Amino acid sequence: MARSKATLRTWLSCPGLLACFLLGFLAGWFTKPTEKNPNSSDVYQNVRQKLVGEMKAENIKQFLRSFTKLPHLAGTEQNLLLAKQIQGQWKEFGLDSVELVHYDVLLSYPNEAQPNYISVTDDQGNEIFNTSLFEPPPQGYENVTDILPPYNAFSAQGVPEADLVYVNYGRTEDFFKLEHEMGINCTGKIVIARYGKIFRGNKVKNAILAGARGIILYSDPADYCAPGVNAYPDGWNLPGGGAQRGNVLNLNGAGDPLTPGYPAKEYTFRYKVNEGVGIPKIPVHPIGYHDAEVLLRAMGGPAAPDSSWKGSLNVSYNIGPGFADNSSTRKVRMHVHTNNKITRIYNIIGILRGAVEPDRYIILGGHRDSWVFGGIDPTTGAAVLQEIVRSFGKMKMEGWRPKRTIIFASWDAEEFGLLGSTEWAEENARVLQERAVAYINTDSSIEGNYTLRVDCTPLLYKLVYNLTKEILSPDEGYENKSLYESWLEKDPATENNSYPRINKLGSGSDFEAYFQRLGIASGRVRYTKNRKADKFSNYPVYHTVYETFELVEKFYDPTFKKQLTIAQLRGKLVYELADSQVIPFDCRDYGEALKGYSNRIYKLAKKHEEQLKHYKVSFDPLFSAVVNFSKAAAEFHRRLEQVDKKEHVIFAPSSHNKYAGESFPGIYDAMFDIESKADQHEAWEEVRRQISIAAFTVQAAAETLKEVA
């Protein structure tokens, strides 16, 4: 374990150091005099228009249909066959090279001979209720084989039996309320939590910290059913027998649990399977809301503390521990026999070499593996990637090449903890830190059909805004208007409603290793739900057997125009980054973002104004560094209009919810729940230390933007 921690510290420190080198190199490179063909601007525009015009909705539809016919879970024969199919097509499309790159990583599968389930036992130990062993298959898929039942990958094995406690979403604050406000101890109990709000692995981690012997996860209709919508196949809501699969690791970016920090190749030292990083020590199992209703209806103990603890099932949502009245002697028993084993996975790496700067890389990558059919996740992304590769390949076959090299990647085993993308990043870390310009993620292209969603580094803000102004909106009622206009009207930024909202990158997809660990400028774009009106989590049938081609065709994107729009935007982002004369980053936006982040973290700290004074905690060094950076960025932009700053003291996933991104994460985590820390002096000393680290990093980045003496 000591090795993995040291390795992660090294990874985290490298991007900041390499930023200095890269910024200086790029500044020197792009101030060199260049010969410009008088017609190069026209050629540039023509290629871009031709590239986007080549993309067709019908092609995306056919790729999606082809890729979702059969289950293709990582490590299975079918997923390898799909990889070979895609590899062959990329070669036909005209890429310079297309290789399968393998790694041997720890994966996790249910035991076919001993199925996982939950039971209720009477006082004699007899099982009087058992949860479902599988999901009822959707219409038309009844005869499909190799559909694994719902399970939580990397769960510990075990058959614990105990009283049940309902813990709401299983967040830090939920367990705090139970223990400190309601006096309910979860030690030795089995807990049941509803999916939503935070990453499932964080729920499991919190249950372990609370002393639970096991955790059951379920999807409550309040979080996974939209009002007035039928369950699939008559609508796009989650049926009562559907259960969300998903891994429950807490990797913190480590990749393969047995080879943290190193690529999982034949030569690599491995920990023992039971020593892997981030693997939970208690059993975990997901169930549908029909089964959950049976368990929750019998619960005894106090009532839910308030309405935020109540879902939409026809139950009282009592907390427990244990069942009520005549059922008080009954217990809950978990049967979890999931096996973890080292399994070979395959990435597909396709390369289109640059003609001018072949040693500068633009990466467009997304995963291929899915829990079952992957109708939305990930295959709406994989189908879009396929059409983008086809379009770039056609341009190349007609004689065009980008200035910089484009790397197309189809990652494997994302669902098991971002493994394929992370292993490739680890194997190529030194080269990527020196050569990679940007990483664009191409996971699911839709998670709803209301408006555009963008998550990216501030360096890409202006590029995204400009490109969305060039693309027609696919939204009903916005005919002949731009994507930018519909996006702005539907989802304006909170801080400045004259611009559309752009989110910070957190984690939960394959950009993590490139953005968080290597410090490569990154972004992701897709269509999403109405975040103000739609209160359900993600899309209702997420990670279930009901994610089919028909779900997309009938309900989410019947014309496939929204997926085409995402293909155009992702394709244009890659094209601009790969073929523009000067890389289209704007460091002034980074300066503005830093001002906003520092003001927000200071506002959070001001809630403890008395402690700030008592422990002599000052944010002045951070504010000063941000001002210096902003000045240097403005001057640098005047000289160059390009910068690629790579350091991530600024961004990281929240340690309390892997999916969410935090700005100044060191300061944020040091201050999280600070009033409950036993040693207040030590706690505030840590805040001071984190402010110092952040101030130094921003100041050091500012220095790299200044003109060389």
Q: Could you tell me which of 476, 467, 579, 472 has the C-alpha nearest to residue 523?
A: 467
Write down the pLDDT at residue 314: 96
> 445-481, pLDDT tens digit by residue?
999 999 999 999 999 999 999 999 999 999 999 999 9
* DSSP labels, 210-226: TT-SEEEEE--HHHH--
pLDDT, mean of residues 682-686: 84
In this model, does residue 7 exceed pLDDT 60? no
**Would you say how long the chain is, in residues?**
709
pLDDT, mean of residues 578-588: 90
Which stretches within 149-239 are classed as H helix? Answer: 172-176, 200-209, 221-224
* DSSP labels, 285-348: EEE-HHHHHHHHHTB-SSPPSSGGG--SSSS-----SSB-GGGTT-EEEEEB--EEEEEEEEEE
pLDDT, mean of residues 223-237: 96
pLDDT, mean of residues 259-288: 95
Per DSSP, the three-state class of 617 is: coil
- Confidence grade of residue 43 (pLDDT, cut at 50, 70, 90): low
* Average pLDDT score over the chain: 89
Write down the pLDDT at residue 367: 98
> 586-633, pLDDT tens digit by residue?
889 888 889 888 898 899 898 998 999 999 999 999 999 999 988 988
Write down the pLDDT at residue 704: 67
Distance of alpha carbon 440 from alpha carbon 509, whole angstroms: 11
Local structure of residue 473 (DSSP, 8 states): P
Q: Could you tell me which of 538, 512, 534 has the C-alpha nearest to residue 244?
A: 538
* DSSP labels, 240-286: TT----EE----TT--STTSTTS---TTS----GGG-TT--SS-EEE
Backbone angles phi, psi at 218, to 5 degrees: -145, 160
In this model, does residue 493 exceed pLDDT 90? yes
Distance of alpha carbon 96 from alpha carbon 410, whole angstroms: 16
| Structure tokens belonging to residue 585 | 């980053």
Classify residue 77 by burial, with Cβ atoms within 10 Å: 0-12, 13-18, 19+: exposed
CB-CB contact of 480 with 472 (8 Å)? yes
Write down the pLDDT at residue 63: 98
Distance of alpha carbon 496 from alpha carbon 474, whole angstroms: 25
DSSP run (H or E) holding 420:
helix 419-427
- Confidence grade of residue 640 (pLDDT, cut at 50, 70, 90): low
- Confidence grade of residue 654 (pLDDT, cut at 50, 70, 90): low
pLDDT, mean of residues 124-128: 96
pLDDT, mean of residues 91-99: 98
- Confidence grade of residue 677 (pLDDT, cut at 50, 70, 90): confident
Backbone angles phi, psi at 371, to 5 degrees: -70, -40
Instruction: Work out the percent of the chain whose per-residue pLDDT is above 90.
Output: 74
Instruction: Tell me the residue type at 665.
Output: P
In this model, does residue 29 exceed pLDDT 70? no
Least confident of 89-103, 221-235, 649-663: 649-663
Write down the pLDDT at residue 699: 75
Instruction: Work out the percent of the chain whose per-residue pLDDT is above 70.
Output: 90
In this model, does residue 645 exceed pLDDT 80? no
User: Is the pLDDT higher at 5 or at 338?
Assistant: 338
Taking every pair of Cα atoms in the chain, the longest distance, rounded to a whole number of angstroms, is 88
Q: Which residues of 366-384 are buried (b: 16+ CB within 10 A; e: fewer)?
A: bbbbbbbbbbbbbbbbbbb
Write down the pLDDT at residue 42: 62
Write down the pLDDT at residue 687: 84
Q: Could you tell me which of 646, 514, 631, 524 has the C-alpha nearest to residue 583?
A: 646
CB-CB contact of 438 with 521 (8 Å)? yes
Write down the pLDDT at residue 662: 61
Local structure of residue 459 (DSSP, 8 states): G
> 397-438, pLDDT tens digit by residue?
999 999 999 999 999 999 999 999 999 999 999 999 999 999
Distance of alpha carbon 365 from alpha carbon 363, whole angstroms: 6
Local structure of residue 42 (DSSP, 8 states): H
In this model, does residue 33 exceed pLDDT 80? no
- Give the Cα-Cα-Cα angle 592, 436, 397 (nearest 5 degrees): 120
pLDDT, mean of residues 318-341: 96
Write down the pLDDT at residue 536: 82
> 167-181, pLDDT tens digit by residue?
999 999 999 999 999
pLDDT, mean of residues 239-261: 94
The HSE-up count of residue 493 (CA atoms within 13 Å, CB side) is 17
Distance of alpha carbon 64 from alpha carbon 429, whole angstroms: 32
User: Is the pLDDT higher at 156 or at 696?
Assistant: 156
- Confidence grade of residue 48 (pLDDT, cut at 50, 70, 90): confident
Q: Rg of the chain over CA atoms, in angstroms? A: 25
> 76-89, pLDDT tens digit by residue?
999 999 999 999 99
pLDDT, mean of residues 139-157: 97
In this model, does residue 666 exceed pLDDT 90? no
Q: Are strands 404-411 and 339-352 parallel, antiparallel or unpaired?
A: antiparallel
- Confidence grade of residue 13 (pLDDT, cut at 50, 70, 90): very low
Write down the pLDDT at residue 311: 97
In this model, does residue 647 exceed pLDDT 50? no
Least confident of 201-215, 354-368, 518-532, 621-635: 621-635
